[in-house]
Homo-oligomer: A and B are copies of this chain.
């Protein structure tokens, strides 16, 4: 397996966590996820910066994706420096100290059944 697959900067221009949910949690909680996979042999130290419509960016949010692991990080679970507001448009920039691959997903359960979206993020 080649090491260091992917890029060190990714962008997701769409971001929106619905404030309402139906169904059992955590699986049916309305959420947004940055799916990050680190194929290399070195842990990836990832920082996320959030961009908003009417105020300065917030971040960095930090997490680690260990070597040869994937982490499907919910934006819902970010606490520091502050929780991600619900029902609010945002965008995100994901940066890593080693190459990773990022895919964006949302589950929207405001009305049952849930709707899903996904896209490969934009590799810078």
Name A residues whose Cβ lies closer than 8 Å to a Cβ of B: 1-2, 5-6, 9, 11-16, 23, 27, 33, 35-39, 49, 51-54, 56-57, 68-72, 87, 89-91, 93, 95, 101-106, 108, 110-124
Which of chain B's residues have a CB closer than 8 A to the CB of A123?
Answer: 122
Selected from B91, B103, B115, B122, the residue in CB contact (under 8 A) with A14 is B103
Give the number of copies in the complex: 4
Task: Find out whether the CB atom of A14 lies under 8 angstroms from the CB atom of B118.
Answer: yes
A72 nearest CB across to chain B (Å)? 4
Closest to A113 in B: B111
A99 nearest CB across to chain B (Å)? 10
Complex CA gap A104/B117 in Å reads 11
